[in-house]
Amino acid sequence: MWEQLAATDPPLRYAEDIDLFAKYKDRRRFTQFMMGLREAFEPTRVALLSCSPFPSLDAAVKELISEENQRSHHHLSFSDVVLDTPCPPSSSFDRPRRICTYCQKLGHDIIECYCKKKNDKHKQHQSRGTFPRPQAAAVSSAPVDDPVVTVSQLESMFHRYMSQPSPALSVTSGNKS
C-alpha cells in the first residue's frame, strides 16, 4: 500500500524539499496507521495523536504492543485501561466532580436536584388531578378515591362554591385623600 501511495508523489529536486516531504509522509503514514486501529485502542490513539510532535511510527507500534501485552497479562477490560497522561496542576482535579444524572448539570447529584424535585411535585399534582388552590376554593363532597361524580353531586359542589364569599371581590370602604 505504501508503495502505491509513493508512486503518486511528485518528483523533488532540492534537498530541503526532500526533507520536508519525508517528514510530511511520515506524519501522513502515522495518522493513517493510527486511524486504522481497532476501537479498543482508542485511548492510546488519542494519547499518541495528541503528542507534539508526533512520535515515530516505530515508537507508536512499540506503545501499542506494550498495551496489548499488558491487556493479555492482566485480563483487563477496555474500561479498566488507564493511560498516564500529564494533567495541568489544579485543585479541581483533586476533588471528584458530581454530575446530576437527571439534569446533567455539575455540582450536585439526583438526590439534591432542584429540577427533579420541581418536576416530581408537578407530576404528583397532575396524577391527583388537583393543583394547589386557595383554601376557600377547595370544596368537595365526593370522596377523593371515587372518580365518578354524579350530576347532583356536581350541582351541589357548584352551589357551595358559588355561595362562599370570594376574597378577591371584597371591597373595603375608605376615605380618598
Reported as a single tens digit per residue, the pLDDT across 145-169 is 555 667 777 777 777 777 776 555 5
**Distance in angstroms (rounded) separating the CA atoms of residues 36 and 45:** 10
- Per the CB < 8 A criterion, the answer to whether 54 and 27 are in contact is yes
CA 18 to chain centroid: 47
Residue 73 pLDDT exceeds 60: yes
Specify which residues 106 forms β-bridges with.
Answer: 99
pTM of the model: 0.34
